[in-house]
Amino acid sequence: MKKPFVAGNWKMNTDSHTSIELAESIASGSLEFAGRRVHVAVIPPFVYIPAVVKALGTSSIAVGAQDIYTEPQGAFTGEISASMLKDIGCNYALCGHSERRHVIGETDELINKKVSASVSGGLLPILCVGELLEERQAGRTNEVITRQINSDLAGLSAEKVSAVTLAYEPVWAIGTGQTATPQQAQEVHALIRKLLGEMYDNQLAEEIRILYGGSAKPDNAADLMHQPDINGLLVGGASLNAHDFIAIIKSLSE
Ligand code: PGA
């Protein structure tokens, strides 16, 4: 059994005080579970990462970045590289979050380069995939997920891919309060594992962690986690409330 993994994506929220408070509350409230029974990561805005790393102190909670750039350094005004993030204590980087795909306009080609750059720069990418509501309604979910997995991992060796965590996040479930049912999520997770088996091999497909994200909360976490192909949760809104996030961590530890 893989150790469950829960990551809290703070998105563009918190400030210099509340980011530290939230990190401290999560660290103290999850001491018995984090690292032992559940892998835990928080993903604050770039500018608060150093303060959050410090606030988490010796807890075993990891820190991630919400995005990275494809190049290690150079004339790329406004961008931040994997090696810079590694340097300030980050372990993970989200790649291809739906808000980056659909609000900022990132393409599969760019996301593919980001996944590769994360691993080359020493970070563990969390690659997010997911269909829009109209794609699900048109019966195109499997086609969209297949295209995203094939193109976002294109050209990556099995060794690189073994550093990747996948996250299935149906766009219609993100921030809407409308969670995918455990069965809907399981179907797509099983598809992703099948695709990984075809692209690489069954052992790698079995070992890769696949998280679910989209309105995950304390009261639906356990049901989602009972599905055979769901290995953890990527939590947005509920990760901004220490009480709720700790409740999710606890329910994953049971
Ligand atoms: P949500 O966000 O939990 O607020 O739906 C999830 C995500 O965007 O990762």
Q: Would you state the structure tokens that stand for residue 140, as one six-digit string?
A: 């195109």
129 phi and psi, to 5 degrees?
Answer: -130, 160
Banded pLDDT at 1 (limits 50, 70, 90): low
Instruction: Say if residue 119's pLDDT is above 70.
Output: yes
The arithmetic mean of pLDDT across residues 82-106, rounded, is 97
Q: Would you state the structure tokens that stand for residue 102, as one six-digit string?
A: 């659909």
Nearest alpha carbon to residue 38 among 247, 207, 193, 252: 252
Assess whether 226 carries a catalytic annotation: no
Hey, whose CA ends up nearest to atom 3 of ligand 1? Answer: 236
CA distance 182 to 251: 15
| pLDDT reported for residue 254 | 83
Q: Would you state the structure tokens that stand for residue 123, as one six-digit string?
A: 């970070």
Among 5, 6, 9, say which to mutate for ligand 1: greatest number of ligand atoms within 8 Å of CB. 9
| pLDDT reported for residue 217 | 96
Q: What atom of ligand 1 comes closest to residue 177's alpha carbon?
A: 5
Q: Is residue 64 helix, strand or coil?
A: strand
CA distance 52 to 104: 26
The arithmetic mean of pLDDT across residues 5-31, rounded, is 97
Assess whether 169 carries a catalytic annotation: yes
What's at 209, amino acid-wise?
R
Inter-residue contact 222 to 247 (CB < 8 Å): no
The arithmetic mean of pLDDT across residues 82-97, rounded, is 97
Q: What atom of ligand 1 comes closest to residue 174's alpha carbon?
A: 5
* Residues in the ligand 1 pocket, defined by CB under 6 Å: 9, 169, 174-175, 213-216, 234-238
CA distance 46 to 60: 20
Q: What angle do CA 36, 41, 42 make, to 5 degrees?
A: 145
| Rg (alpha carbons) of the chain, rounded to whole number | 17
Among 174, 211, 219, 224, say which to mutate for ligand 1: greatest number of ligand atoms within 8 Å of CB. 174
Q: What would the pLDDT profile of 190-224 be if each residue is shown by its tens digit?
A: 999 999 999 999 999 999 999 999 999 999 999 99
Q: Specify burial of residue 167 (Cβ count, 10 A radius: 0-12, 13-18, 19+).
A: buried
The arithmetic mean of pLDDT across residues 75-94, rounded, is 97
Catalytic residue among 39, 131, 169, 189: 169
Hey, whose CA ends up nearest to atom 2 of ligand 1? Answer: 236
Q: What would the pLDDT profile of 171-199 be if each residue is shown by its tens digit?
A: 999 999 889 999 999 999 999 999 999 99
Inter-residue contact 96 to 106 (CB < 8 Å): yes
CA distance 50 to 34: 20
Per-residue DSSP letter, 74: S
| pLDDT reported for residue 98 | 97
Q: Is the Cα torsion angle 25, 30, 32, 34 positive or negative in sign?
A: negative
pLDDT > 90 in the chain, percent:
94
